[in-house]
């Protein structure tokens, strides 16, 4: 398939669901106006129209992964069904190129009375493969699904995890040109989840286009090239994944009174094409060099990707890093201990409160974080006007590079997020001598040893 033509091309796409208020209105709607008048009905049928999706356009290119994010009811699943052709659009067009595999819901296309083996061949036939082609792939499918002898048991006896693992294994083994996935990557334990992501990476490397719906911000940020944000069936913005995740979180946590303003800002930026550029964090990471003086603080080391959430009862005034002498620093040394300090004030009484901070890489991967109090416990009550200074201690064993700090204040009551700032500060660990490790952190307990035997 040509790599310069979209795998999926969506233009002016819309889907309207029509609900008739009375049983006879459905019949009346198909009659001509003359017949309707003859029946004494000179008014139109009572029909309620609900647009699940409206006037949406975008391209999905070969080898690209596009994520779709939005609150429940925003039109994500409708988009996937239209993209797969299992639903007809009301307006607009969807053009597909090549073989498409879809994992839209648990066990879609499986017969619960059939065994897993029989369902593999059934699904292969649905996808347009003959029995021999499916047989050639069967051992790989069974090995990937890891359900053992259950492959010859009726799938109605499967657990939900087994069901989904087999369905995922079938879809990714059919050598699709386009893979459409709806919330189906959190399958099984961590080892199997990593297996799923590794398979996706392999498909992408071979030019397979992926359209993915997920509510998991880390999954979208680490997996997708671009992200489409939907709200009430309409496009809000589309662009680089990390920037879109931040934009979506800003919209998600906005107070009801602020949502229209945030939506307008995001849509205006999308119309101007501002989201299609480089990731803000990546830009920030390349702007500052280590001062020749070796000082512990570089005033030019400022992130350009800072995202501030609405204040809903609390305000974070500063997030900064202090060394062992309580000096503010942003040029750190590996192996030393530092404190991330979050300062602020409560503007309203709040109950069941907790604090947290995180450290992220340039591409948005969450390296580490801390929470206080620990998971499962909270601070019973904090009163209005109470100031706070929350301190988290870290030993910095990260490898040289740029990292971004963020933090927040939450409550287990509504509203959950009292205040949060992403990329509030930026730190750098300068290169000190030839690197001995690679990745994110140095796990070496000593220098390597070579014995020639």
Other C-beta atoms closer than 10 Å to the C-beta of 129 total 18
Pick the range with the lowest mean pLDDT from 130-139, 189-198, 209-218, 288-297: 288-297
What are the angstrom distances between the C-alpha of 278 and each of 71, 243, 245? 25, 9, 14
Per-residue pLDDT tens for 191-232? 677 677 778 888 888 889 999 998 877 778 878 899 999 999
Q: What is the C-alpha to C-alpha distance for residues 270 and 141, in angstroms, rounded to an integer?
A: 41
Q: Give percent above pLDDT 90 in the chain.
A: 42
CATH number among 3.40.50.1860, 2.70.50.60, 3.40.50.300, 2.30.38.10, domain 283-429: 2.70.50.60
Tokens of 33: 């106006």
Q: Can you give the pLDDT at residue 252?
A: 82
Residue 13 has pLDDT above 70, yes or no: yes
Residue 127 has pLDDT above 60, yes or no: yes
186-188-194 Cα angle (round to 5): 65
384-400 per-residue burial string, b: 16 or more CB within 10 A, e: under 16: eeeebebebebebbbee
Q: Can you give the pLDDT at residue 32?
A: 54
435 versus 362: which is more confidently predicted?
Answer: 362
Mean pLDDT on 235-252:
88
Residue 283 has pLDDT above 50, yes or no: no
Average pLDDT, whole number, for the chain? 83
Q: Can you give the pLDDT at residue 282?
A: 34
Per-residue pLDDT tens for 316-356? 999 999 999 999 999 998 889 999 999 999 999 999 999 99
Write down the CATH number for the domain with range 8-98+177-219: 3.40.50.300
Query: What's the DSSP call for residue 128?
Result: T
Residue 368 has pLDDT above 80, yes or no: yes
Q: Which of 107, 98, 106 lies closest to 174, judged by CA?
A: 98
324-338 per-residue burial string, b: 16 or more CB within 10 A, e: under 16: eeeeebbbbeeeeeb
Residue 84 has pLDDT above 80, yes or no: yes
Q: What share of the chain is helix, strand, coil (3-state, %, to 5)?
A: 30, 35, 40
Neighbouring-strand partners of residue 307: 422
Please name the residue that has the structure tokens 């030993």.
Answer: 395
Residue pair 287/275 in contact by the 8 Å Cβ criterion: no
In this structure, what is the dihedral angle of CA atoms 52, 55, 60, 61, given to the nearest 10 degrees?
170
Tell me the domain boundaries of the chain.
8-98+177-219, 283-429
Could you tell me where the beta strands, DSSP code E, fall in 71-195?
A: 91-96, 100-103, 178-182
Residue pair 417/408 in contact by the 8 Å Cβ criterion: yes
28 versus 322: which is more confidently predicted?
Answer: 322
Mean pLDDT on 113-118:
94
Residue pair 75/52 in contact by the 8 Å Cβ criterion: yes
99-108 per-residue burial string, b: 16 or more CB within 10 A, e: under 16: bbbbbbeebe
What are the angstrom distances between the C-alpha of 55 and each of 10, 127, 226, 232? 10, 29, 19, 12
């Amino acid at each position: 398939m040509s790599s310069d033509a979209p795998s999926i091309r969506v233009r002016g796409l819309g889907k309207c669901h029509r609900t008739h208020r009375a049983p006879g209105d459905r019949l009346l709607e198909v009659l001509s106006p003359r017949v309707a008048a003859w029946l004494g009905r000179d008014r139109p049928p009572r029909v309620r129209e609900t647009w699940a999706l409206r006037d949406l356009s975008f391209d999905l290119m070969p080898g690209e992964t596009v994520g779709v994010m939005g609150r429940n009811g925003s039109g994500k699943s409708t988009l996937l069904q239209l993209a797969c052709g299992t639903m007809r659009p009301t307006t607009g067009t969807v053009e597909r190129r090549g073989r498409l595999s879809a994992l839209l819901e648990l066990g879609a296309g499986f017969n619960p009375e059939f065994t897993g083996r029989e369902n593999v061949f059934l699904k292969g036939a649905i996808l347009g493969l003959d029995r021999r082609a499916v047989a050639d792939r069967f051992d790989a499918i069974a090995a990937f699904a890891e359900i053992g002898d259950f492959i010859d048991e009726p799938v109605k006896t499967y657990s939900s995890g087994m069901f989904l693992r087999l369905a995922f294994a079938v879809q990714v083994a059919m050598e699709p040109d386009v893979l459409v996935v709806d919330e189906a990557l959190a399958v099984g334990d961590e080892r199997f989840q990593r297996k799923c992501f590794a398979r996706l990476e392999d498909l992408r490397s071979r030019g397979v286009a992926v359209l993915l719906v997920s509510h998991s911000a880390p999954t979208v940020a680490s997996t997708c090239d671009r992200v489409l944000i939907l709200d009430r069936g309409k496009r809000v913005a589309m662009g680089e994944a990390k920037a879109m995740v931040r934009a979506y979180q800003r919209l998600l946590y906005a107070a009801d009174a602020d949502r229209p303003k945030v939506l307008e800002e995001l849509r205006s930026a999308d119309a101007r094409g501002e989201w299609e550029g480089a990731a803000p964090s990546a830009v920030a990471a390349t702007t500052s060099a280590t001062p020749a003086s070796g000082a512990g603080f570089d005033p030019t080391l400022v992130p350009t990707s800072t995202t501030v959430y609405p204040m809903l009862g609390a305000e974070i005034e500063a997030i900064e890093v202090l060394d062992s002498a309580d000096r503010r620093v942003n040029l750190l040394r590996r192996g030393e201990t530092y404190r991330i300090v979050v300062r602020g004030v409560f503007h309203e009484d709040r109950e069941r409160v907790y604090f947290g901070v995180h450290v992220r890489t340039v591409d948005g991967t969450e390296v580490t974080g801390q929470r206080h109090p620990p998971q499962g416990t909270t601070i019973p009550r904090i009163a209005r006007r109470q100031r706070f200074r929350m301190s988290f201690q870290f030993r910095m064993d990260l490898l040289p590079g740029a990292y971004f700090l963020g933090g927040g204040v939450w409550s287990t009551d509504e509203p959950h997020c009292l205040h949060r700032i992403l990329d509030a500060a930026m730190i750098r660990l300068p290169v000190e001598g030839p690197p001995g490790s690679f990745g994110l952190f140095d796990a070496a307990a000593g220098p390597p040893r070579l014995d020639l035997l």
